[in-house]
Amino acid sequence: MNEDTPIRRQLFSIPNLMGYFRIILIPFIVWRYVTAETINDYYAAAVIIGISGITDFLDGFVARKFHMITKVGKALDPIADKLTQGAIVLALSFRFRWMIPLIILFIVKEGFMAIMGIVMLRRGKMLDGAKWFGKVCTAVLYVVMFILILFPQIPMGAANGMIALCGALMLFSFVSYIPVFWKMAHDS
C-alpha cells in the first residue's frame, strides 16, 4: 500500500483504523476526567490517554514498517493529534485556570499551522514533517497533561509551573515555525 493506493483501501488500512480509534477515544478521555470523583477515575482517564499515546506511536510505526503510509494517514494522524491535545487541554482548564491562556495559544498556533499548510499545499509545497521544536513542544505537552490527570492532588503552584513551561514551549514552537513557512513560501 502506498500513496497511490485507491482512497477506499487507504481509509481502512491498519494505521488509519488506529487513527480513527484515537479520535473515538477523545470523548471517553474527556468524560472520564471531567466527571472524575475518585482517584481511580483519574487513573482511568490517564490509562485511556496512555492507550491513545501508544496507538499514536504504533500507527506511525506500522505505517512505516509495513509500507502503509497513505495520503489519508498523513492527514488523519495530525488531525487526531490536535483533536486529542485540544480536548485534553480544554478538559484540564476546568480545574487549572492557567490552561485557559494555553487553550488560546494552542488555537492560534494550530490555526496558523493549518492555514499555512493549506497555503503551501495550494502552491504545491508541503512541510516535510514536524520540526524538532514542534516535537519537543508536543512531547512536553503530553507529559504535562498526563501528570496533571494522573496526580489530581498536585500542588497548584507545581501545576501552574508545568502549564507555564508548556506555554513557553508552545510559543517558542509557534515563533520557530514562522521562518520555516516564510522560507517555503519564498523558495522557488
pLDDT of residue 3: 63
Q: What is the pLDDT of residue 19?
A: 96
Span 84-131, pLDDT tens digits: 999 999 999 999 999 999 999 999 999 999 999 899 989 998 887 789
Question: DSSP letters of the chain?
Answer: --TTS-HHHHHTSHHHHHHHHHHHHHHHHHHHHHT--SHHHHHHHHHHHHHHHHHHHHHHHHHHHTT---HHHHHHHHHHHHHHHHHHHHHHTTT-TTHHHHHHHHHHHHHHHHHHHHHHHHTT----S--HHHHHHHHHHHHHHHHHHH-TT--HHHHHHHHHHHHHHHHHHHHHHHHHHHHHHH--
| 39-96 tens-digit pLDDT | 999 999 999 999 999 999 999 899 999 999 888 888 899 999 999 999 999 999 999 9
Domain 1-92, classified CATH 1.20.120.1760, yes or no = yes
* Lowest-confidence pick of 26-40, 122-136, 140-154, 161-175: 122-136
Domain borders along the chain are 1-92, 97-188
pTM of whole model > 0.75? yes
